[in-house]
Amino acid sequence: MAKRGLSKEVIILEAKDEIRETGYENFSLRGLARRLGIKTASLYNHIDNYNELREGIIILVLQEMTRKIREEIDKTNGKDALLKFAVSYRSYAKQFPNLYQMIMMIPNLHSDKLNDCSFAMMNELYTVLKEYYPVLEDRVHFARMFRSGIHGFINLEQAGYFSLPQANVDDSFRYLTYTLADCLTVPDHLKQ
């Protein structure tokens, strides 16, 4: 019999909170069940499998990131919006490093729901880029470059690099994002 008040949504939220607090590498269904005050087998009254649980957590993470990015870039455009996208993206990763790392699981889960949520976040970037790159393929090229730059920076920062006292890490991030934003120009093949 299912515990009163327990649902798939509650389980996903609790799992997300546990991962946020202790890290994905320390997460277990047994620990989640203990946190919820139930037996591990009881989780399966609400979720089909472990992948469904991971998918639910990552969907929440992507929705939170998208909402924060949208709030930041609202009423801006061009390079300013691009810079705000980067700052918001990094801010989420710094505030919730354990959750941020989970988005790297998306390709391995082969989930249309996750792909849709991921696209919704990236669509915020594609919208910013549309005035510079009317052709979707060009937007995708720039977005890949831009996101690779900020994601690479975030991963190195989270791994403990950038410890030299001679340069402030936030300034280094601004240096990166401003340099990438300066690449934002209409390609020659689109100029008339």
Pair (39, 63) in one structural domain: no
Q: Domain residues for 147?
A: 56-190
**Residue found by looking up tokens 């455009």 in the block:** 77
Assess whether pLDDT exceeds 60 at residue 70: yes
Q: Are residues 35 and 117 in the same domain?
A: no
Judgement on whether residues 33 and 116 belong to the same structural domain of the protein: no
Percent of residues, the chain, with pLDDT higher than 90 = 80
Residue 60 has pLDDT above 70, yes or no: yes
37 and 64 co-located in one domain: no
Dump pLDDT digits (tens) for 141-189: 999 999 999 999 999 999 999 988 889 999 999 999 999 999 887 667 6
Question: For residue 3, what pLDDT band results from cuts at 50, 70 and 90?
Answer: low
Q: Is the pLDDT of residue 1 over 90?
A: no
Structure tokens at 144: 């890949």
For residue 9, give the CATH number of its domain. 1.10.10.60
Q: Is the dihedral of CA 191, 180, 103, 6 positive or negative?
A: negative
| Digit-coded pLDDT (tens) for 74-127 | 989 889 999 999 999 999 999 999 999 999 999 888 889 999 999 999 999 999
Q: Within this chain, do residues 64 and 35 fall inside the same structural domain, yes or no?
A: no
Residues 68 and 135 in one domain: yes
Q: Do residues 122 and 166 share a domain? A: yes
Q: Are residues 86 and 162 in the same domain?
A: yes
Q: Note whether 39 and 67 are same-domain residues.
A: no
Q: Can you give the CATH number for the domain in which 99 is found?
A: 1.10.357.10
Q: Give the residue with greater pLDDT, 105 vs 191.
A: 105
- pTM for the whole thing? 0.88
Q: How many separate domains does the chain show?
A: 2
Q: Are 42 and 115 found together in one domain? A: no
> How buried is 139 (Cβ within 10 angstroms: 0-12 exposed, 13-18 middle, 19+ buried)?
buried
| Domain match, 134 and 185 both | yes
Alpha helix (H) residue ranges in 106-168:
106-109, 112-129, 136-158
pLDDT at 140 over 90: yes
Task: Clarify whether residues 74 and 158 are in a common domain.
Answer: yes
Tell me what pLDDT residue 78 has: 87
